[in-house]
Amino acid sequence: MTVVDMHTHFLPETWPDLSQKIGGADWPWMRHDGAGRAMLMLGDKEFRPVQEACWNSARRLEDMDRDGVDIQIMCATPLLFGYQRPLQHAIQNAQLFNDLALEICAQDPARLKTLCQVPLQDIDAACAEASRAFNNGHVGVQIGNHVEEKNLDDEGLVTFLQHCAGEKIPVLVHPWDMLGRERMPKYMLQWLVAMPAETQLSILSLILSGAFERISRDLKICFAHGGGSFAFQLGRVDNAWRHRDIVRQDCPNLPSSYTDRFYVDSAVFSHDALALLVKTMGEERVLLGSDYPFPLGEQTVGELVRSQPGFSSRAKRGILGENAMRFFDLEAVSSKSEAMLA
């Protein structure tokens, strides 16, 4: 079998000074501090420390061999999205990082794949860049889960998702730009509380607005971090749909009946949570995703799934790779991972 980690992040080692190349201020850049360590900067502010696995493909491949991962699918860190920028700046920004991502993959294109990013504040431009990148070798598109106040049920964002469905471009939805930030200044609470809520909000916005009734079933869409708070709160949503007309006014079917319209990754870090997730979504709709190489990611990629009590080997093979092979329509690579499947 082929093990696929479909949620990993990259940063190029360097990129041009975007203020000079594109215009505008406070762009992200990298301050290299030596010994494979760097600081991702935003203007003159330190945003987060990062390490060389972000940009060094030899290091990525070593870590993949260590963990028995055959294929990694990389995407940008959301800080690079540029959704708040003027459109022409955002288009250039997306193209630049999309092209740099392919350079990182070029060292081993069979094992290193990447998702593109798009200037999602403009739907025509977003569709055009998604198609350009997909034709250039990106295997899908990563989008943030909202654009300012617009959730995924926004008419323009639904149009973008329809475009992806029509062109068979798989979509990964990643939470970003977290709500309630002013109340979560410490302890990474934005990542621990707001991110799962953002993802749940995105899934529910598609379900309760009736957007899934209008979007083609051809759409392949996956939500990061196991869909955030979605699975654990789904019973609450179904109960609300049954007993409050304002919940079901735009949603003709029970919310839990829409779980056959999307996928989630496996980044939940707990056997109990993974068991609930697979029970909720079905074993064919959960894809291995680690958030490699960040500290909040799975430190030995695939370990949670491989050691999951009660899963059949069929379920494990699906989650570890076969589901992602179908989702992204990937070609198998000769596998080093078979022996590691418990």
| Residues found near Zn ion in the complex (CB under 5 A) | 291
Instruction: Closer to Zn ion by CB, 291 or 322: give it.
Output: 291
Instruction: Closer to Zn ion by CB, 152 or 251: give it.
Output: 152
* Shortest distance (Å) from residue 291 CB to Zn ion: 4
Residue with tokens 């990062």: 50
> Using CA atoms, how far apart are residues 299 and 269, in angstroms rounded to an integer?
10
Instruction: Closer to Zn ion by CB, 68 or 144: give it.
Output: 144
* Shortest distance (Å) from residue 143 CB to Zn ion: 13
* Shortest distance (Å) from residue 172 CB to Zn ion: 9
The residue nearest Zn ion at its CB is 291
DSSP assignment of 38-77 equals EEEEETTEEEEEEEGGGT-HHHHHHHHHHHT-SEEEEEE-
> Using CA atoms, how far apart are residues 146 and 204, in angstroms rounded to an integer?
13
Which of 340, 330, 299, 286 lies closest to 111, judged by CA? 330
Cβ atoms 289, 224 nearer than 8 A: yes
Instruction: Closer to Zn ion by CB, 128 or 179: give it.
Output: 179
* Shortest distance (Å) from residue 181 CB to Zn ion: 18
Instruction: Closer to Zn ion by CB, 1 or 79: give it.
Output: 79
Instruction: Closer to Zn ion by CB, 158 or 305: give it.
Output: 305
What are 261's two structure tokens?
């319209």
* Shortest distance (Å) from residue 7 CB to Zn ion: 6
Which of 292, 314, 294 lies closest to 303, judged by CA? 292
* Shortest distance (Å) from residue 116 CB to Zn ion: 15
DSSP assignment of 95-160 equals HHHHHHHHHHHTTSTTTEEEEE---TTSHHHHHHHHHHHHHHT--EEEEES-BTTB-TTSHHHHHH
Q: What angle do CA 58, 59, 63 make, to 5 degrees?
A: 120
Instruction: Closer to Zn ion by CB, 227 or 255: give it.
Output: 227
* Shortest distance (Å) from residue 224 CB to Zn ion: 6
Cβ atoms 141, 115 nearer than 8 A: yes
